[in-house]
Structure 1
């Protein structure tokens, strides 16, 4: 487990696009809480350096992150970089090398007016997508033959291990309040599906106090739109979790408010980031919504044992959204800095 010193040291990687803009507001908000956190900025990890030097993330930077154990992350991605090795070399390397096997993405409706659903009785989404974060289709296993010809053949291999599946399903049951829905496509993806099905049934039987269900991913997507309030915890693989968590984010008000935590519950290490990405089309325009970054910081605080401070951040975001003291994507008129200042002014 982490030491007390590591618990208080936070590595900040602003990254690309709107990452620096929203991360700055999150850090200022954390500082306003006076929680005694120490920040170290690794703002050299970005697309500019990659384009200049071909370096995504150095071994030394990885060790600095490993020593601290906690990262507040902005975004990765730049339209000038067409090589996928850059994004994989930063975010996916941090996830895999630090074994951050849980991607925890909560979706809570902040205000009734933000829901795209017409039926008021079904709007109250309050669920978590627990996504396996180190396996699946994102491992990069595969290859191509006769590239660039009419006979080109490409293969991307989905990888599932008993360790990976069992620990993510067990984690999902550990954080559930009332129910767990395991999502797969075992009727079409035969071998990985069999592993997920077997592990889920074994874990379900150890947790009779919780309601358990299974849905194929296409049916899960339909049910999320039809009745999102019926879900508590969804557990699924890397690619399905990536897709479904964007859907739940939109049902809760949009990607601008979506937070996530990449964590290893055993070591205590964690990387916390808004879901929205680098959004290069709005960089420098003051349109970036800092709520997702601030709510990601709240997840960081909660995992570091600072529950009351985390709840204060969450209340402040909810209050500013309700009062329309927010960015235009949520119906307000404030720019990024003003929205951050409004959140800090709303702190208890």
Structure 2
């Protein structure tokens, strides 16, 4: 059965002047469609929270804009032939925002935390194949798996695989406390989170990538009402809306002071059937629903035409994408 799939472009809207001259900006104000759920990526499942957390935390590897894996806190790696051992070399001269040095010990502490089911972290399942993490030197670790897994480096690039400051983990062993006291190696330090109101981040002056970040502070405001988001943007109350609700694209386009940044996304929208239900246990019923839905019309009405009917269960920009012969 081929489910109905829609790929949507991620949108961000903001003052053209703000994006063209962001180097001069002091405080970037962004409206977002919902509030974050917390600040521990090890225990996070929603995309919006990951987007905000990525300003505070970094990973050993991450995906670039073309979904290629690139090194960040790790510089390179080697693996054995059966993909059960991965040796990582780490970046030197990196500090956490509390001054704690980033090193192999920090990597071991974080990966051990993620791999331990007793911690009841939401992302434990992604790291359950880790058997051990061994510190080989101050800037080299060896990860041993309990079974072969060739995509381990991709997993280390997942937004959950961040490095917390070991001092922070020790100071806040309770998940509820840690989630509101995030300390990473990223370009921005956490200042405060007023639930339902705003998130405040400020520039980390000792960030290892020289010249970054380009702004002194970022404030994010949860604004569930679409019309309120755009009203704030048009009045100058915020500098950007992320992501821009598709039904308000035309409103933004009609304002010469505003601009839209539009990039291909990796979102898939689909219908999933519970085949344990009698109604959906017959494959012909599922096929009939699939054939009955006009995906181009769905895109036009639901997403302002911004996207394309999917040709695979994987988005086009994701590794291992393979176009299907029929939708």
Asked which structure has the greater CA Rg, the reply is 2
TM superposition score normalised by structure 2: 0.29
From the two aligned structures, give the one with the greater helix fraction. Answer: 1
Highest RCO, 1 vs 2 (Cα 8 Å, sep ≥ 6): 2
